[in-house]
């Protein structure tokens, strides 16, 4: 299994807007019908009192294998999911993508 983590650093004044958009639109363009797609989670960063503000929103997708994820990245569903992005002024920095292979699950 591979896990794809996309981190969006959002300006604090737009975090609620981005979260609303994420809940309404992420996953609505056919990803759930893709072969090998297992699930998606949307996480909202929370702050700990002695730590800096956590203004990140994470999209985590789980895939049967790397091949399934790569097929998705070349699909019509992927193209549709990335049309009409949120306004650039919402972002505190560029999104990042990290991919992990699950080596143990409990």
| Mean pLDDT of successive 10-residue stretches along the chain, which has 106 residues | 97 94 82 94 92 92 97 93 92 97 96
What pTM value is reported for the model? Answer: 0.89
User: Is residue 8 a contact partner of residue 95, using CB atoms and an 8 Å limit?
Assistant: yes
pLDDT score of 57? 96
Nearest Cα to Cα of residue 17 among 96, 93, 91? 91
- Tokens 């991919």, residue located: 99
């Amino acid at each position: 299994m591979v896990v794809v983590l996309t981190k969006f650093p959002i300006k604090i004044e737009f975090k609620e807007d981005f979260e609303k958009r994420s809940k309404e639109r992420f996953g609505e363009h056919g990803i759930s019908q893709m072969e090998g797609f297992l699930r998606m989670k949307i996480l909202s960063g929370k702050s700990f009192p002695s730590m800096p503000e956590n203004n990140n929103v994470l999209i985590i997708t789980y895939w049967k294998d790397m091949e399934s994820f790569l097929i998705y990245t070349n699909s019509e569903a992927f193209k549709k999911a990335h049309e009409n992005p949120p306004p650039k002024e919402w972002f505190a920095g560029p999104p990042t993508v990290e991919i992990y292979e699950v080596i143990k699950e409990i």
